Chain A
Amino acid sequence: MPHLVGGRAAARGVITLAHGNGGRYMRELIRDIFAKHFGSDSSVDAAALPRFAGEAVFTTDGFIVDPLEFPGGDIGTLAVHGTVNDLAVSGATPRFLAITCLIEEGFEIARLERIAKSLGRAARDCGVAIVAGDTKVLPRGQGGGLYLSVAGIGTKNPGAPPGFASIRPGDVILVNGTLGDHGTAILLARHEFGLDGDLISDCASVAPFTSTAEAFAGLRFMRDPTRGGMASVANEISLGVECRVTLEETALPLHEQVRSICDILGYDPLYLACEGRVVAVIASGQAAGLLGAWRALPGGERAAIVGQVEAGRARVVLRTALGGERILDELEDDPLPRIC
């Protein structure tokens, strides 16, 4: 297919290679979409940041999602929340983001603006400033519409959890809400299975939950169960601490639709991604306190104590509703729907 040429295609409202060539189209795109919705200064090549008191925490993450817009969010909100959450679970207050947009030639400009707008709003809601960015246009066929690459800087909080080394047998594992909502909402949004539902992604900032947790001196560790889901975080804990981790099937909070869709398609919700959840490990004496504090937060109604760390060989064991046991292993390949 021939590449789209600047003027005519731009007039049709789609991204052209000219939008990435450093010239007029690119300047206008940055001015009219990114600077406008991100509130950033497009006149500088690099951002000067204020001096921090204490440690700075730095992270980066790439975002690819199909479809780009889904119930409960889009790739823009996902990029903001994903980066903010990586900082938050590390015990930092998210402060600054830098965003690179990799756009495929032919991408509709109105759609780009819609995503930029919701990205900007998500950043403002999280109290982070978008201070730097870049735009690249990929020739048609060489990209999936829109990819985002985000770097984030936060400042370390005094109550930041000490991490794996502090975890002891007897410690308790909590999660702040239902599991697998994002992964399932994305499955539904792809409309591949003829299934419908009103399930929405849990895509959100977990900062209110992490900062609440940091008030507890017995907090050991926090992690957001994104790719690989709850089971993968449990495996990380088990391998990191070299302890057995036991999860209670009956205690795991699952949305009824997630349960039934996973039943139909043969997915295990414990391996599906969440984008607004945090898993915390805390001293057993403070678990009830943290549970109460989380449940009092908006969106924390279904927070639950889901398991504990136990002495024993490093493995994750799910105690099933019937009293059986199942090992939750690390993922090997991507989960697939059943064909039988």
Chain B
Amino acid sequence: MTEAAVWLDRIRSLPLPARVRILNVCGGHERSIAHAGLRDVLPPEITLIPGPGCPVCVCPEGDILAAIRLSQDSGNILVAFGDMLRVPANVRKGELRSLAEARRAGADVRAIATPLEAAKIARNNPAKNVIFFAAGFETTAAPVAAMLAEGIPDNLFLLLSLRRTWPAVAMLLDSEEAGFEGLIAPGHVASVMGAEEWRFVVSRHNMPLAVAGFTPASLLAALHGVLVQILNNLPKLENAYPAFVRPEGNLRAQSCMAEQFAGFDADWRGIGTIPNSGFRLRPHLAAHDVAKEFAEIIAGTAGRGEKMPPGCDCARVVMGRISPTECRLYGKACTPRTPIGPCMVSDEGACRIWWAAGQRHAA
């Protein structure tokens, strides 16, 4: 019997209540859940809810519009993580609605997989401005900070759309109805920021939680831990990913991030402003800050109604309020080939993950 099967057996033998809802906040977790088919094999009382785990999905429309506008100058090379190229913004007919469209129209837009590639492209193109549109959570912020700490070429500029995960969860828990009874905390984020960052879930909200890794066994172990806490009414912070996650996290990465970034109240697309949930560049990096160096070009893009496309329910999907299949566009107007909302674009997006795993109709 595999380790995962052992945990599954243990979960099946628990005296579960009629309904128990567990939120995860990492696209990687949601992907592992879908890949392993966990929803098929878990007892029907358990509902696994994908929550705010997709940085591409919550990237403000203003940042996307700024990136598109910056790509229009032939002196600029715009680089971004691959997912970001496909995310559509709301624009008037005839205007460029995504970076992918800008590229097809002739802009020099390049997909990268790691921050170091951005620095490399800048060094290889000294006569151009290279603009790195960096969207991501703490797991992306850490390598971006490491790149900045190493020193970057003069011609590399950053358009940061980096977010912290826990403030979104705090916002859900502070709302009238959280909508879930337990939380699976993100393993990669916790490996950087430390498991302790999630203690507020227990101490302030009395909610059970466990940090999980990305294998079915690790996810099921964490789920079992959360369910037992719920059944015993003894919430605590559990770490089901101890091989990678320490209570204090990666202190070197944290201090590096603190040196390069300051926190600010950031916009989340379709959701609104969440206090202290974003990273922005500290003043010593002003010469590399798109907001400073290209202020005139991107003027008017920010705060331009951080809305999802009309009819699109991505915001409620991101916050775990509805499941992907409950959106009326899912699988009809909105598919990976013709995505309307960002959740159907990104490989971290719940809609895309459900679609790729074969979910074709309402669950």
Partner-B contacts on A (CB < 8 A): 192-194, 263, 266, 268, 315, 317-318, 320-329, 332-340
**Roughly how many angstroms separate A339 CA and B337 CA in the complex, as a whole number?**
21
Question: Is the beta-carbon distance between B113 and A326 smaller than 8 angstroms?
Answer: no
Query: B40 near A: Cβ within 8 Å?
Result: yes
Residues of B within 8 A of A268 (CB): 35
Residues of A within 8 A of B114 (CB): 192-194
Residues of B within 8 A of A329 (CB): 355-358
Q: Mark B260-278, 1 if CB is under 8 A from A, else 0.
A: 0000000000000000000
Contacts A321-B2, A324-B41, A340-B27 known; list 4 others, CB within 8 Å.
Answer: A194-B114, A320-B41, A323-B41, A326-B35
Question: Is the beta-carbon distance between B116 and A340 smaller than 8 angstroms?
Answer: no
What are 27 A-B residue pairs whose CB atoms fall within 8 Å in the complex? A192-B116, A192-B117, A194-B114, A263-B215, A266-B31, A315-B358, A321-B2, A321-B5, A323-B37, A324-B38, A324-B41, A325-B358, A327-B357, A327-B358, A329-B357, A332-B336, A332-B337, A333-B82, A333-B336, A336-B81, A336-B113, A339-B55, A339-B135, A339-B139, A339-B140, A340-B28, A340-B139
* In the A-B complex, the 3 residue pairs with the closest CB atoms: A324-B37, A327-B358, A324-B40
Residues of A within 8 A of B355 (CB): 329
Partner among A193, A194, A266, A320 whose Cβ is within 8 Å of the Cβ of B37: A320
**Roughly how many angstroms separate A326 CA and B34 CA in the complex, as a whole number?**
7
Query: B348 near A: Cβ within 8 Å?
Result: yes
CB-nearest residue of chain A to B7:
A322
Q: Mark B14-48, 1 if CB is under 8 A from A, else 0.
A: 00000000000011100100111111110000000
Using known A-B contacts A192-B116, A326-B357, determine if residue A336 contacts B83 with beta carbons closer than 8 Å: yes
Query: B188 near A: Cβ within 8 Å?
Result: yes
Q: Tell me the residues in window 347-363 of chain B with beta carbons closer than 8 Å to chain A beta carbons.
A: 347-348, 355-358
Residues of A within 8 A of B152 (CB): none
CB-nearest residue of chain A to B214:
A263
Using known A-B contacts A339-B139, A340-B188, determine if residue A321 contacts B36 with beta carbons closer than 8 Å: yes
Residues of A within 8 A of B55 (CB): 339-340
**Roughly how many angstroms separate A266 CA and B353 CA in the complex, as a whole number?**
12
Question: Is the beta-carbon distance between A340 and B35 smaller than 8 angstroms?
Answer: no
Q: Closest CB of chain A to B238's CB: distance in Å?
A: 21
Question: Is the beta-carbon distance between B113 and A192 smaller than 8 angstroms?
Answer: yes
Query: B341 near A: Cβ within 8 Å?
Result: no
Question: Is the beta-carbon distance between A333 and B86 smaller than 8 angstroms?
Answer: yes
Question: Is the beta-carbon distance between B53 and A320 smaller than 8 angstroms?
Answer: no
Question: Is the beta-carbon distance between B35 and A339 smaller than 8 angstroms?
Answer: no
Partner among B40, B53, B356 whose Cβ is within 8 Å of the Cβ of A323: B40
Question: Is the beta-carbon distance between B35 and A338 smaller than 8 angstroms?
Answer: no
Using known A-B contacts A263-B214, A325-B37, A329-B358, determine if residue A334 contacts B27 with beta carbons closer than 8 Å: no
Query: B8 near A: Cβ within 8 Å?
Result: yes
CB-nearest residue of chain A to B54:
A340
CB-nearest residue of chain A to B86:
A333
Q: Tell me the residues in window 300-346 of chain B with beta carbons closer than 8 Å to chain A beta carbons.
A: 336-337
Residues of A within 8 A of B40 (CB): 323-325
Could you say which interface size class chain B belongs to?
Answer: 35 or more
Q: Closest CB of chain B to A323's CB: distance in Å?
A: 5
CB-nearest residue of chain B to A323:
B41
Question: Is the beta-carbon distance between A338 and B27 smaller than 8 angstroms?
Answer: yes
Question: Is the beta-carbon distance between B216 and A322 smaller than 8 angstroms?
Answer: yes
Query: B170 near A: Cβ within 8 Å?
Result: no
Question: Is the beta-carbon distance between B347 and A266 smaller than 8 angstroms?
Answer: yes
Query: B136 near A: Cβ within 8 Å?
Result: yes
Residues of B within 8 A of A339 (CB): 55-56, 81, 83, 135-137, 139-140, 348
Query: B208 near A: Cβ within 8 Å?
Result: no
Residues of B within 8 A of A194 (CB): 114
Residues of B within 8 A of A324 (CB): 36-41
Query: B172 near A: Cβ within 8 Å?
Result: no
Partner among A263, A318, A340 whose Cβ is within 8 Å of the Cβ of B26: A340
Partner among A193, A321, A322, A333 whose Cβ is within 8 Å of the Cβ of B113: A193
Residues of B within 8 A of A325 (CB): 37, 40, 358
Using known A-B contacts A326-B35, A339-B136, A340-B136, determine if residue A334 contacts B53 with beta carbons closer than 8 Å: no
Query: B60 near A: Cβ within 8 Å?
Result: no
Residues of B within 8 A of A322 (CB): 4-5, 8, 36-38, 41, 216
Residues of B within 8 A of A192 (CB): 113-114, 116-117
Question: Is the beta-carbon distance between A340 and B113 smaller than 8 angstroms?
Answer: no
Residues of A within 8 A of B39 (CB): 324
**Roughly how many angstroms separate A266 CA and B29 CA in the complex, as a whole number?**
10
Q: Closest CB of chain A to B51's CB: distance in Å?
A: 12
CB-nearest residue of chain A to B143:
A194
Residues of A within 8 A of B182 (CB): none
Question: Is the beta-carbon distance between A320 and B336 smaller than 8 angstroms?
Answer: no
Query: B186 near A: Cβ within 8 Å?
Result: yes
**Roughly how many angstroms separate A321 CA and B216 CA in the complex, as a whole number?**
9
CB-nearest residue of chain B to A337:
B113
Residues of A within 8 A of B139 (CB): 339-340
**Roughly how many angstroms separate A23 CA and B137 CA in the complex, as a whole number?**
56
Residues of A within 8 A of B140 (CB): 339-340
Q: Closest CB of chain A to B100's CB: distance in Å?
A: 10
**Roughly how many angstroms separate A159 CA and B347 CA in the complex, as a whole number?**
43
**Roughly how many angstroms separate A48 CA and B97 CA in the complex, as a whole number?**
54
Q: Mark B102-126, 1 if CB is under 8 A from A, else 0.
A: 0000000001011011000000000
**Roughly how many angstroms separate A205 CA and B296 CA in the complex, as a whole number?**
58
Q: Closest CB of chain B to A249's CB: distance in Å?
A: 8
CB-nearest residue of chain B to A334:
B82
Q: Closest CB of chain B to A30's CB: distance in Å?
A: 31
**Roughly how many angstroms separate A192 CA and B355 CA in the complex, as a whole number?**
29
Residues of B within 8 A of A333 (CB): 82, 86, 336
Using known A-B contacts A193-B113, A333-B86, determine if residue A340 contacts B186 with beta carbons closer than 8 Å: yes
Q: Closest CB of chain A to B9's CB: distance in Å?
A: 10
Question: Is the beta-carbon distance between A336 and B215 smaller than 8 angstroms?
Answer: no
CB-nearest residue of chain B to A319:
B37
Partner among A320, A327, A332, A338 whose Cβ is within 8 Å of the Cβ of B36: A320
Q: Mark B61-96, 1 if CB is under 8 A from A, else 0.
A: 000000000000000000001110010000000000
